[in-house]
Each structure stands twice: as C-alpha cells, then as structure tokens.
Amino acid sequence: MAASGSEFTGLSEVQAQVIRDELEEQLEWRNSQLKELRAVVDTGGAEDTARLAVLADIAATEQAVAELEDTLERLKDGTYGRCDDCGSAIPFNRLKIRPLARYCINCQRRHEVR
C-alpha cells in the first residue's frame, strides 16, 4: 500500500484538508482579483501611470496564482510539507500560518541571511 502525502509529511488527513481548503480559498480570491485587474486594463479605465501600476499588480497576482497552484499540486502529489533544502517535515503550525512555506524554520533563516 502506497503512503499518502499526509503520511509522508507527517500531516494528518484533517490537517492536509484544512490547508487545502485555505489554499483553494486563496486561489479563488486571487483569480477573482486577477479578473478585475485585467478588466481595468482591457476597458482602458486607467491613465498611463495608473495602467502601469495595474499591470504590475497583474504580474504580482499571476505570480501568487502560480505559487498557489504549485502548492496545491505538491499537496496532491505528496511532496507538500517537506523542506525543499533538508527534506525534514515542516510542522503543521508553520504550514497553517504560512501554507506556501517551502522551508523549515532553520533553512528559512539561512535563506533570509543570503
């Protein structure tokens, strides 16, 4: 019998579902935000400087959507909740606060120092 993703990461099925629900909610909100921003650009509803700000917001929102989709994919394939550097399980409390976390606290600190 193959191990589920939650067994691999140390997350229970309930914990994984809590995170999945949060990520899906964030993704829905970001996609809605992206649709609204694109509508502003498409309708020409902004002056040149405001249009540049909206385009920057679109790029940032597209990046957020991509990160959320990637995180949901990692949850699905069982790689979510493992530190990208050292491979240790990231504690549920950290993932609940920062569901997009890719590093354990120690490795995150090392990345911040760089």
**47 pLDDT band (50/70/90 cuts)?**
confident
Q: What whole-number distance in Å separates Cα of residue 31 and Cα of residue 38?
A: 10
**114 pLDDT band (50/70/90 cuts)?**
confident
Query: In terms of DSSP H, where are the helices of the chain?
Result: 5-9, 13-42, 48-77, 92-97, 105-113
The answer to whether residue 7 scores a pLDDT higher than 50 is: no
Q: What whole-number distance in Å separates Cα of residue 110 and Cα of residue 105?
A: 9
Rg, Å, the chain Cα set: 17
Task: State whether 21 and 76 are in the same domain.
Answer: yes
Residue 64 pLDDT: 97
Task: State whether 55 and 99 are in the same domain.
Answer: no
Convert the pLDDT of each residue in 90-102 to its tens digit.
999 999 999 999 9
Task: State whether 55 and 86 are in the same domain.
Answer: no
Indicate whether 106 belongs to any domain. Answer: yes
Task: State whether 75 and 87 are in the same domain.
Answer: no
The answer to whether residue 5 scores a pLDDT higher than 80 is: no
- pTM tops 0.85: no
Q: How many domains does the chain have?
A: 2
Q: Which of helix, strand or coil describes residue 82? A: strand
Longest dimension (CA), the chain: 59
Structural domain of residue 112, as residue ranges?
A: 82-114
27 phi, psi to nearest 5 deg: -65, -45
Position with higher pLDDT, 1 vs 82:
82
Task: State whether 74 and 86 are in the same domain.
Answer: no
Indicate whether 4 belongs to any domain. Answer: no
Convert the pLDDT of each residue in 57-79 to its tens digit.
999 999 999 999 999 999 999 89
